[in-house]
Chains A and B, each alone.
Chain A
Amino acid sequence: NAGVTQTPKFRILKIGQSMTLQCTQDMNHNYMYWYRQDPGMGLKLIYYSVGAGITDKGEVPNGYNVSRSTTEDFPLRLELAAPSQTSVYFCASSYPYLRRQGAYEQYFGPGTRLTVT
């Protein structure tokens, strides 16, 4: 298993450009997440999905969009990039929460370092 893979690893965008961060997992996890990590601020949830066709906003969704057409893929779209979106982006996946088993740990991809100038 490759686990969670993210592309690209690094990207520099100009203000106003758009791009899609790709995320794929091969563990057949239902749940997938996008986080951003800013220096000294921990990770903040952008969007998450509990299954194909279902997405919902996290703590910091503004400026981003997601879609989940398959179990494996969960791309994150940035429209009209702004300097405030300079960050490291992590995709994660996990097994679904089940009342008996509880919440499972999340498996993270290697991250995408994005700079907007």
Chain B
Amino acid sequence: AQKVTQAQTEISVVEKEDVTLDCVYETRDTTYYLFWYKQPPSGELVFLIRRNSFDEQNEISGRYSWNFQKSTSSFNFTITASQVVDSAVYFCALSEGYTGANSKLTFGKGITLSVRP
């Protein structure tokens, strides 16, 4: 069975600090997909990134970067120079994606990030 662990529950930083959100996953499949979603205080879920298990390249998008390491089953998310608008709950999710039916997501419990001015 697949599992996603986000051990950090709450993180508080001061604006402009860098912050890393950890995600560790478990799966027995060799083909899988990892996702990060953001849930701001307004409540909607916003897709941030998708990564497949065959692509271990790190990705950078503006102030956001992701570090995927299969050796440690981790897919960590770093926000550089954090801003107040980054305050949200961040979810890591896993899809085994082996068949259509298995494309459903397993979510971690989420990390609440508070960025203070």
Contacts and interface: CB of A to CB of B under 8 A. Distances in A.
The reply to whether chain A is a binding partner of chain B is yes
Interface of A: 31, 33, 35, 40-45, 48, 50, 56, 58, 88, 90, 92, 94, 96-97, 102-108, 110-111
A103 B52 CA distance: 8
B43 A103 contact: no
A110 B39 CA distance: 11
Contact of B45 (A40, A58, A90): A90
Interface residues of B, number: 26
Contacts of B103: 31, 94, 96-97, 103-104
A35 B9 CA distance: 20
A108 B101 CA distance: 18
Contacts of A42: 91, 107-110
Given A40-B109, A42-B91, A42-B109, A105 B35 contact: yes
A55 B89 CA distance: 30
A107 B45 CA distance: 8
Interface string B25-60: 000000101010100000111010010100000000
B105 interface: yes
Main secondary structure of the interface of A (DSSP, over half): strand
B117 interface: no
5 contacts: A33-B105, A42-B91, A97-B100, A102-B52, A110-B44
Contact of B50 (A35, A45, A104, A108): A104
Contacts of B105: 33, 43, 45, 106
B95 A43 contact: no
Interface of B: 9, 31, 33, 35, 37, 43-45, 47, 50, 52, 91, 95, 97, 99-110
Nearest to A95: B103
A44 B4 CA distance: 12
Contacts of B43: 88, 110-111
B47 A103 contact: no
Nearest to A48: B104
B113 to A, nearest CB: 15
B50 A41 contact: no
Nearest to B108: A42
A81 B102 CA distance: 29
